[in-house]
Amino acid sequence: MASHQKRVGVFVVAYNAVNKLDWTLDRIPKEVWDKVEEVFLFDDFSTDNTFYAAIGYKQTKQLEKLTIHRNSRNLRYGGNQKAGYQYAIARGLDIVVMLHADGQYAPEVLPRLLEPLETDSADMLFGSRLADAGDPLGGGMPLYKYVGNRILTWLENRLTGMSLSEFHSGYRIYNCEALKKIPFMLNSNEWHFDTEILIQFHEAGLRIAERPIPTYYGDEICYVNGLAYAFNCLKAAVRYRLHKAGLIYEPKYDIVKNRYVYKKSDPYSSHSQILSWIEQERPSEVLEIGTATGYLTAEMANLGCAVTGVEQDPEMAELARPYCRTPD
């Protein structure tokens, strides 16, 4: 059993979901609302009124736990996930659920899906529509998507050495400590981010659990180019296979050296030494050269420092920006 009560967050990825948003949030069970620390919605610069609908929903339902965020530009599906996971890590959450705002993945089953993470029996939970107890065709999955999913998953399993029932469900729950151990910021900003992060968890030796989930296909708008998505998923798996064979070098899959772990838990690491010094000296201002995605920046800001950060990678800088002071 888990040794302490887990801090759980639900990360709602949203893009042009104004017609489905209320329906999806209404389906989150009360026991989940009672349990979670925060439900944070990241609107990916929608062109409809998703952001304002979310604000209206929060005010109407008087949900203090619901926070609404809007990206300053469209980060794409993978980029939006990067922002959400960085937010969850910076908030100090133990578990983060990714839930799609269009309701395609059933919020009703969240209590059952959370159990492996809450009991520390998995590092990631994958909600599978194609697992033995699932019924994707009965849930409205088009036959061509079902067949394509089966074929693509078989190929990906063969290439990566994994044995998942499917690769392509967007219902995922992560242990935040596990997320810190993989370089997910190097992944694509597109839809095959989901494939790349699965491969990273596998390469890192992290525990992936699968649970069957119901399938819902309705009138939601699909923004995925199916052929391009399939090609990119296969490309990710092939590049992983070539990386493992030593024929190419793929940084996103170079995980075993642990170069990407946030090293706060190691008392001799530079991160721990810096934080220890700040706790002792309590400087009011800090200049951080190379913020990366803001792991250390957030820690220093939480200790009361006004951090001025410098980072050459614009995407990483954008994620670190909330923890830096605003120039006068």
Residue range 8-244 in CATH 3.90.550.10: yes
Q: Which helix (H) or strand (E) holds 149?
A: helix 143-160
For 148-193, what is each residue's pLDDT tens digit? 999 999 999 999 999 999 999 999 999 999 999 999 999 999 999 9
| Between 144 and 159, residue with greater pLDDT | 159
**Rg of the Cα atoms in the chain:** 20
Q: State the DSSP code for 184.
A: G
Q: Does the pLDDT of residue 56 top 50, yes or no? A: yes
Give the Å distances, CA to CA, from 101 to 2, 22, 34, 191: 29, 9, 20, 16
| Between 202 and 138, residue with greater pLDDT | 202
Structure-block tokens of residue 313: 């990678």
Q: What is the pTM of this model?
A: 0.77
Q: What is the mean pLDDT of the chain?
A: 90
- Taking residues 99-108, what's their average pLDDT? 95
Pinpoint the residues of the chain covered by CATH 3.40.50.150: 270-323
Please report the pLDDT score of residue 16 as a whole number: 97
- Taking residues 286-309, what's their average pLDDT? 88
Q: How far apart are CA 320 and CA 86, in angstroms?
A: 9
Pinpoint the residues of the chain covered by CATH 3.90.550.10: 8-244
Give the Å distances, CA to CA, from 279 to 91, 302, 310: 19, 11, 22
- Name the pLDDT band for 203 (thresholds 50, 70, 90): very high
Quote the CATH superfamily of domain 270-323.
Vaccinia Virus protein VP39 (3.40.50.150)
Q: How far apart are CA 326 and CA 328, in angstroms?
A: 6
- Name the pLDDT band for 115 (thresholds 50, 70, 90): very high
Q: How far apart are CA 149 and CA 152, in angstroms?
A: 5
